[in-house]
Amino acid sequence: MTDPLRFCGQFDQNLSALEALIGVVVRLDGEQLRVSGERAAVDRAAHVLGAMLRAACSGAQVTPDDVALAARNSEPARGIPPTLFVSNRGKEIRPKTAGQRAFVAAIEHNTLSFGIGPAGTGKTFLAIVMAVRALKNREVSRLVLSRPAIEAGEKLGFLPGDLKEKVDPYLRPLYDALGELLEDGTVAKYLERGTIEVAPLAYMRGRTLSDAYIILDEAQNVTREQLKMFLTRLGANAKMIVTGDITQVDLPRGAASGLLDVDRLFGDIDDIGITHLDESDVVRHPLVGKIVRAYARLSVQRDT
């Protein structure tokens, strides 16, 4: 067997997670695993254990989240996806759902990718993971991360401080994602050197962004004209990722979100990938998925 800690987890937490998810009893006897329970459950557990073993043999540190992903995967042969990036704290980051896998694949295979889905589906985080990985692998020389400076249904009024201090509250989620992946000193160094630029959408006008990974987050809050302006910033050796949730538009009444046009405009254009995520891809607290479904049902009732 490979390193037991990679496979079983600390204090055998992966085996405990498997027992809780599938309703079997798993015992490690030397280098042999013994699984007992109903036949169907044992067969299912065997598929999951096989996926865990393949991941551990490849050098991955299997986690209870990976066990849960493998347990609910309708195609057990696909197993646990490969690690995209290892954070500064040693956390291995992988896509956790079918929708997330599709989004990552779209980013890898297209110059322009759209990730559209509800809160908690990991759109922004995965986009930044892919961008930081590309930077670390020297595929690009810089990252450009942007968001529209739109208030989410609240009037914040006058914000004190210089221009950076005024716009930073809108960009904080991007800084938070960077902080999960890189050491604080590394983030500060990259920001100071301009290797990573975090800026509001208004700063993009008139620029050509080359040799870069470019991300536009919260794109449901950009108008059609703003989205066109942003997309046409794409330069040589650059990749662009646009993420947003069309159920949470904060634009003023009468202003249409540019994200609503994406499928109609770009659905049949090569080198553009469009991934739609849904509540099954929510990876925050399990309650978030239920909240998303509840609001989706309410929206359907209002439309009928």
CATH number at 98-303 = 3.40.50.300
> How far is Cα of residue 58 from the mean position of the Cα atoms in its chain?
23
Q: What is the mean pLDDT of the chain?
A: 85
Same fold, 4-80 and 98-303: no
Q: Which of 95-104, 146-155, 171-180, 254-263 shows the lowest per-residue confidence on average (mean pLDDT)?
A: 146-155
- The more confidently predicted of residues 20 and 70 is 20
In a 10 Å sphere around its CB, with 0-12 CB exposed, 13-18 middle and 19+ buried, how is residue 130 labelled?
buried
| Residue 182 DSSP class | S
Q: How far apart are CA 51 and CA 111, in angstroms?
A: 31
What pLDDT score was predicted for residue 234? Answer: 96
pLDDT in tens, 122-138: 999 999 999 999 999 99
Q: Given its phi and psi angles, is residue 51 left (phi above 0), alpha (psi -120 to 50 degrees) or beta?
A: alpha
Enter the tokens of residue 286: 């399990």
User: Which pLDDT score, from 0 to 100, does residue 153 have?
Assistant: 41
Contact by Cβ (8 Å): 230, 222 = yes
- What residues contact residue 219 under an 8 Å CB cut-off, 6+ apart? 114, 148, 227, 242, 243, 244, 257, 258, 259
pLDDT-derived band of residue 156, with 50, 70 and 90 as boundaries?
Answer: very low
Nearest to 287 by CA among 127, 115, 120: 120
Distance separating alpha carbons of residues 248 and 217, to the nearest angstrom: 13
Of residues 82 and 193, the one with the higher pLDDT is: 193
pTM, rounded to two decimals: 0.78
* CA 88/CA 270 separation, integer angstroms: 36
Q: Count the helices and strands in the chain (H runs, E runs).
A: 11, 10
Answer yes or no: are the C-beta atoms of 132 and 258 closer than 8 Å. Answer: no
The CATH code belonging to domain 4-80 is 3.30.1370
Domain ranges of the chain: 4-80, 98-303
Q: Residues 7-10: contacts with CB within 8 Å, 24+ apart? A: 7/52, 7/53, 7/56, 7/62, 9/62, 9/63, 9/64
Mean pLDDT of 78-102: 84
Which helix (H) or strand (E) segment is 113 a member of? strand 112-116
- Give the three-state DSSP class for 87: coil
